[in-house]
Amino acid sequence: MNESSQFFQFRSDRLVLVTEASDQDVQLEVADSWLVEDGKARGLDAHFERFAAWVAEVRPSCIEYLEPFFQAVVEQIPKQARWFPRIEFHAEAESPHHLYLRLREAPEQLGDVTLWTLPEVDPRENPAVKGPDLSLGMQMRRNAKMHGADEAVILNSEGYILEGALSALVWWRGDILCSSSDELPWLPSVTRAEVFSIANQMGFETKTEKVRPADLVGLEIWALSSLQGIRVVTDWVDLGATVGKAMHAEAFIRRLKLLSTKIS
């Protein structure tokens, strides 16, 4: 285990460096991650709140450990360079030591993105919580790469768009920013909430809707994530038509970056 990838377990109000568990040994019930650049992060409190809400569902007895755990995480993150820390809740760990920090160097910043539609109904077991299906999302993204794309688009049994394998999707209908209906099972996205808030501040209307891939032909589409922020969709390999040009992205990318603040 090198210095750029470290694994910590939360014990007695502090993070203790441990030998990394193998993927086969881990029951990852809850996870959350975010980008840190030179000690600054975007939406950190929202990530902590989301993680806490999920932990409260699966193991209410661990709620009392979350605040000191979050504080220990903040103190552990380096204040220089780019990092992509992930906090985890492991079901198999001995009680009450279920909480972990995986401290990783951040992957490179990526540009535009090409989409590919997963040719099967959403295979995830718990799409509303990040963690249980995380490895499956990575597998779906690898399948997309085999088809010349960067991200897989997940559909429900009726063919409606839910989200990307590891990202939220939004699109523009003129000057209206849209995303998948909240009635559909998709992961609550911190970045989508931030982007929708920016749109409202700029005077743009926002809405959610049920759509199929064919409904987005010719529209400006973005893929969103805490790691990559806003990525403009430039192609959808199996859509059979072109996507729209990026008319709004530059202003939103700039404003999204302004949301990063010093962590303390």
- Residue 51's closest CA among 39, 40, 67? 67
Spatial separation of the C-alpha atoms in residues 130 and 223, rounded to whole Å: 17
* Reported pTM: 0.94
- What pLDDT band is residue 20 in, cutting at 50, 70 and 90? low
Q: 10 Å Cβ neighbour count for 257?
A: 13
Q: Whole-angstrom Cα distance, residue 224 to residue 164?
A: 9
Out of 47-61, 86-100, 189-203, least confident range: 86-100
On the CB side of 25, CA atoms within 13 Å amount to 6
Predicted confidence at residue 240, as pLDDT, reads 85
* pLDDT average, residue stretch 230-255: 96
- The better pLDDT of the pair 100, 95 is held by 100
Q: Where are the domains of the chain?
A: 5-104, 113-262
pLDDT at position 24: 46
Give me the CATH code for the 113-262 domain, please.
3.20.10.10
User: Binning pLDDT at 50, 70 and 90, where does residue 2 land?
Assistant: very low
In terms of Cα–Cα distance, which of 228, 252, 255 is closest to 37?
Answer: 228
Q: Do domains 5-104 and 113-262 have the same CATH topology?
A: no
The CATH number given to 5-104 is 3.30.470.10
- The tens digit of pLDDT for each residue in 21-53 reads 545 456 789 999 999 999 999 999 999 999 999
SS3 151: strand
